[in-house]
Amino acid sequence: MNSPRRYLNIAHRGASAYEPENTLRAFRRAIELGADMSELDAHLSKDGHVMIMHNATVEKTTNGRGAIREMTLAELKRLDAGKGEQIPTLPEVIDLVRGKNGLYIELKGEGTPPAVVKILRDQNFTERRQVIVGSFLAPLVQEVKELAPEIATSLLVGPVFPADQLIAMTRAVNADYVHLCWENRHPTPHKLLTPELLSALRAARLGIVLWHEERPSELEVLRTLDVDAICTNTPDQL
């Protein structure tokens, strides 16, 4: 087997295998476990605050009910997001990780690009080593790059496409990275990462981010590949 290459260890929703996902507790644990970045999900509250939660509604991970976009910051902060944690805002997460850990921000909804860009600029948190902003929603990725060319962006891709389509899709929104979210697309998904695919993406000067992965047998292979980052719920295993 080839020697391991250097890649970013990205804690998916923080160290979510061990702590409540997308909470300050999870992001703090990710730092303790040696992650280079924490992945998190961004929505807007009713009063325009960037809230960190995966789903658009709060039922899955809190003791509340309702859509984030229909609730104010004060209402959201009253909820328990697990182990007594509150739903964090993006500025709170930046304050926690600054100088210790970067952020991989996934935009989940309409209106998030200008709000997130403003916070990143106001907080002087725009360098590539600090942050990457991505989304499955191509228009949001394009909007971030138009608003802030200095911020690294990523296009998340679920379906398995050939290299030429991946390159065209990523270039169409001027993204720096393609993020292959293929963990459930094959019994052994690393087999989808053929040498030809990775070589073509590199020839197109695209960065490569891989899905979140926790299976030891898969991680053993992924860590040998020429990729820029691997997401995982268990950063201590990567």
Which residues are part of the catalytic machinery? 12, 54
Q: Rounded to an integer, what distance in angstroms lies between the CA atom of residue 172 and that of residue 167? A: 8
**DSSP summary character for residue 6:** P
β-sheet bridge partners, residue 208: 178
Torsion of Cα atoms, 71 then 77 then 33 then 105, to 10°: 30
Of 6, 38, 43, nearest to 25 (Cα)?
38
Provide the token pair at 234: 């268990």
DSSP state of 148: -
* Gap between the terminal Cα atoms of the chain: 17
The total of other beta-carbon atoms located within 10 Å of residue 79's CB is 19
CA distances from 195 to 26, 159, 198, 220, 225 (A): 34, 19, 5, 17, 9
What is the C-alpha to C-alpha distance for residues 115 and 87, in angstroms, rounded to an integer?
Answer: 17
